[in-house]
Structure 1
Amino acid sequence: MPKVQKGLTADGAGMAGDRVVAAGSTARVLVAATARALRGADCGDLGQSTPLSRFTAAPEPVRRAAAARAAGRIALTPDQTAEVDAERVARWIVDQYPRRRYPGVVLGSPHASAVHLAVALGVPWLPAAFEMTAHWTRGAVDRPRAALDHGAALAARVLAGNPELHLRQVHCPASRGALAGSTVSLVARWQALPRAYARFLADRLEPAASLLVVRDARTWPVSDEGQGHSFQLGCPGSGLEPVDFHPDSNALRQVLRSAGGDGGHWEPPEVSAAGEHAEHGVEPGFVDGARHWGRRHGHGLHEVHVPQPTALSAAVADLYRRWLRRAGKTGDRLVVECGRLLDPWQVVRAGLVPYWCENATRRSVDGVEMWLAGSEPFSSVDVLPESPGMRSPALAGLPQWLAVAAFGRRRRALDRTAARGYPVASVPTRRATEVLRNQPYDLPVPPPLGVAEAVAALREDGAPMGLAVS
């Protein structure tokens, strides 16, 4: 591939956004789902079945090799990382939304309940970061120091043309499995409001519309030398704790065996900051930029600090229930989504209450069980467990997912297709659409929520769970 001449990337000569942003990354799926919902469309075209589905019953080494080959076909090459243009990515994101005026916008960390909130408000959702994956040809899942060295070199290429980014490298065999040894994961966080976002807000927001920024407040130890690139060993979404990534950890040994590694080679880099926000945190400069833009243009800004994903999931589910009942609907049918198995438009079309589990870890499933135990009973509960594609000691078993479905008084449904081959089989996003299309229609859709009403409800209902709204 030809080299990019110095200076061209900043002028928009970089790669197209749909090539840069990692396929299947949470933020990418959430933008696509929100844009479709605002057009009155579902997610039936998102995520086709992959060739890996035929390897479900294959031995672990065969599945790992197939996954690595598939990831390698779509990961960026080292030369391509120099062509990344973050502004072009931002333009690609905003261009997915219908061209009309909106009464507000939701920005920030990738959380499906933030997307459900945006759809109820009738507004777009804009991520504060995007994920990239790049080749690590001679990588090894059990050598984090080598991962850091390789990632730092790739990050330098990206940052040369995008100084407004902070790149958080995440090396997590517990959430990425064998892919952590064949590709590098870089979360690109904007340190200022992208120009494309500012233009979008100026063109599309109604007068006095509000900005709502959702911030993942979880922390994790990182190595950061202050060069725009930081390294994170493990992640909150793994269902494990930072101590579990210590060389003496039994959980780490199990994870590395499953991913094809050896715990004897595990040498973690030095930690420079123990309390930094994890990969899905929002850069302070992004929030400051949004607030400054809002003040100059007459738009207020609210922040929602989320201590754990379960807190926002529960608060938005409660908000949906009240919203539906106010419109004369029962609000008694629940769908428990997981990971990329979601469809905001089908949820609204069927008059369902959505609760989102970040992933299939026991921690996530414990959260929905506790919320259900303290909630008014639902007449039906549909559960869509996303298979992580690998085994981990932190994963919830199918009996725990079945226990969630058992909260339904009349209907208790665990999707069999999603459960088949769990936890190693992959299921595309469109599977959620297929399931929810079978739910009876409950139209018309309720009138959109108001931003002020939503903020007040999140402040009141979320406070007991640690949700902080300002």
Structure 2
Amino acid sequence: MGARGRCGGGAAGPVGVDRVVARDSLGRVLVAAASRALRGEDCADLGRRPLLARFPGAPEVVRRVALRRATARAAVPGAQVGVLDADRVARWVVDQYPARCYPGVVLGSPHGAAVHLAAALGVPWLPAGFEVTVDWPGGAADDPLAAMAYGSRVVAPLLAADPGVRVRQVHDPAARGALCGSTVALTVRWRRLPDAYRRFLGTRIVPGAPVLLLRDARTWPVLDPGEGHSFQVGGPASGLDPGDFLPHGASIGRLLRAAGADLGRWDPPSANAPDGHCEYAVEPDLEAGLRDWARGVGSPLHRVLYPRPAALSAAVADLYRRWLRRAGKTGDRCVVECGRLLDPAQVIRAGLVPYWCESATARAVAGVEWWLAGSEPFSSVDVLPEPPGLRSPALAGLPQWLAVASFGRRRRMVDRTAARGYPVTPVPTRHATAVLRGQPYDLPSPAPLRAVDVLAELRDGGLPQGLLIC
């Protein structure tokens, strides 16, 4: 992004990144939603149906084969991973935001509540990494050892060419099903502050404005030989525990059968791996680089670490309620979003209190149940369950989603379209927009939050949730 001073104009965003950043990845959707909120737009144009939504009427065996082929066609060829340009991806991210000055920035792990927080502050959200799906010819969902070897081979040229990144590979049949056998999932994390981010911070952020770094502090067994490529089987977003992915685990047999794979071949190489930060973590070197940049320009850097996504979701939802009430609104209507089904612009226009569930797992949904049970009652609770596109023993059933909606005093609604295809037929992000457009607007919107107030309220309401603010 070219700069002409502190708030100068910038060139149009680059092309060619569209295939590199996984189209169905959470981070990609969050950047799109955050940038639209700053333009005063909703997510009505985000109509891409996830790959797992395709071929819904086909027999399961036929559907698995068709999905594997479709995913492989959309993935990055393994031979091209070595020329992947992470700096170009960073330019693509910042170029999505309107060319004006901002009173701060939110940066870090992918989390829907982080995007709602950025929208309330009127600032951009910048991810600490991005997801890439790579074609795996001849792969097998039940052979994580081969997946690790293939992933190590294809990322070696990238790591040799760009020491500023690290790559976490995740082999998760609970989240990806049969797709684990045709592609490998990589999370590329920046080890240093990308040049595009540095220029953006230096030209688009008001001098001295605060920087909020939000970090996912969850851990998971990780094989990390220290060469820039690390590997994990499963992940905390699956709603399962690490032991569930072992050969004798209670869930792995069912997951592999659903993926058309064989439990007899399952031998995860990370069975005895030590715990490390999960795939959504922020690289320590990136945090150090951001701290050095902030110190150099006189901007305060504030870190918010959350032990589980529900803690940040609850703290931001409470913050929204207080924000709305200070603006003279009721703060009495709640929307429970899930995964990619969110729209921060519509939430603010309607004066809603948003609680974001990372996924449709029973564990994630239990988090919102506990929060609602301990909150002052809401007059209405609307629920947007995201069908993940496959079945898993960790998923919440529709009765659990209905129990969430039942906390509404007058209005209790689980979106029928999402529920009708649950859990095997995902819907696009714009479906959340269509649902939220049906909510009565509560205008004018409150004045943007100030970072100093956000930090005070997160300390007040987030500490009991386990948030660490420093």
Relative to the length of structure 2, the TM-score reads: 0.95
- Whether 1:229 aligns to 2:229 is yes
Which letter maps to 1:119? A
Residue 263 of structure 2 corresponds to which residue in structure 1?
Answer: 263
Matched-pair contact (CA < 8 Å) for 2:52–2:389: no
Following the alignment from structure 2 to structure 1, what is the Cα–Cα distance between the partners of residues 367 and 104?
A: 29
Quick one: which amino acid aligns to residue 328 of structure 2? G
The offset of 1:15, in angstroms, is 7.7
Kept in 2, the 8 Å contact 1:360–1:396? The answer is yes
For 1:352 and 1:374, locate their aligned partners in 2 and report how far apart those are by CA, in whole Å.
Answer: 18
Q: Which residue of 1 aligns with 2:128?
A: 128
Cα distance in 1 for partners of 2:372, 2:399 equals 16
CA distance in structure 2 between the aligned counterparts of 1:182 and 1:304, rounded to whole angstroms: 37
Quote the RMSD (CA, aligned, Å): 1.3
- CA gap of 1:26–1:384, structure 2 versus 1, over 3 A, is same
Match of 2:138? Answer: 138
Hey, what's the Cα distance between the residues in 2 that align with 1:134 and 1:242? Answer: 24
CA distance in 1, matches of 2:204, 2:80: 32
Extract unaligned runs of 5+ from structure 1: 1-13
Tell me which amino acid in the other structure corresponds to 1:391.
R
State the partner residue of 1:204: 204
Structure 2 equivalent of residue 357 of structure 1: 357
Give the conservation status (yes or no) of the 8 Å contact 1:337–1:354: yes
Runs of 4+ in structure 1 deviating by more than 3 angstroms, as ranges, are 49-54, 270-273
Task: Give 2:448's aligned amino acid.
Answer: P
What SS is found at the alignment partner of 1:68?
A: helix
CA distance in 2, matches of 1:305, 1:55: 40
* Alignment partners' CA distance in 1, 2:357 and 2:279: 18
Q: Distance in 2 between matches of 1:22 and 1:51?
A: 11
Per the TM alignment, residue 17 of structure 1 is displaced from its structure 2 partner at its CA by 2.3
How far has the Cα of 1:235 moved from its partner? 0.3
Q: 1:255 to 1:272 in 2, by over 3 A?
A: closer
Paired residue for 2:175?
175
**Aligned counterpart, 1:337:** 337
1:318 maps to which residue?
Answer: 318
Partner of 1:217: 217
Residue correspondence of structure 1 range 423-462 to structure 2 within 5 A: 423-462=423-462
Shift of residue 421 of structure 1? 1.8
Letter of the aligned partner of 2:172 in structure 1? C
State the Cα distance separating 1:54 from its structure 2 match.
6.1
Q: Following TM superposition, by how much is the alpha carbon of 1:234 offset from its aligned partner in structure 2, in angstroms?
A: 0.7
| 3-state SS of 1:341 partner | coil
Residue matched to 2:252: 252
Gap runs ≥5 in structure 2: 1-13
The 2-side partners of 1:50 and 1:120 are apart by 28
Matched, 1:421 2:428: no
CA deviations over 1:130-189 (Å, ceiling 9, x no partner): 000000111100001000011001111221322111100000001111111110000001
Q: Give the distance between the partners of 1:445 and 1:131, measured in 2 at CA.
A: 34
Secondary structure, aligned partner of 2:303: strand
Aligned match of 1:60:
60
Question: Do the aligned partners of residues 355 and 27 (structure 1) sit closer, same or farther apart at CA in structure 2, a change above 3 Å counting?
Answer: same
Distance apart, 1:50 and its partner CA: 5.8
1:6 corresponds in structure 2 to none
The one-character-per-residue Cα deviations of 1:220-279 (angstroms, maximum 9, x if unpaired) are 011111110001011000111011111111210011111111110011115675221000
Report the equivalent of 1:111: 111
Query: Percent identity at matched positions?
Result: 64
Which amino acid in the other structure matches residue 134 of structure 1? V
| Cα 1:287/1:372, change in 2 over 3 Å | same
Match of 1:468 in 2: 468
Which 10-residue stretch deviates more, 177-186 or 45-54? Answer: 45-54
Q: Which residue type is aligned with residue 175 of structure 1?
A: A
**Structure 1-normalised TM-score?**
0.95
Equivalents in 1 of 2:52, 2:193: separation in Å? 38
Distance 1:169 1:109 in 2: 16
- Displacement after TM superposition at 1:289 (Å): 0.6
Hey, what's the Cα distance between the residues in 2 that align with 1:238 and 1:15? 33
Deviation at 1:49, TM superposition (A): 3.5
Tell me, yes or no, if structure 1 residue 404 matches structure 2 residue 404.
yes
Aligned to 2:4: none
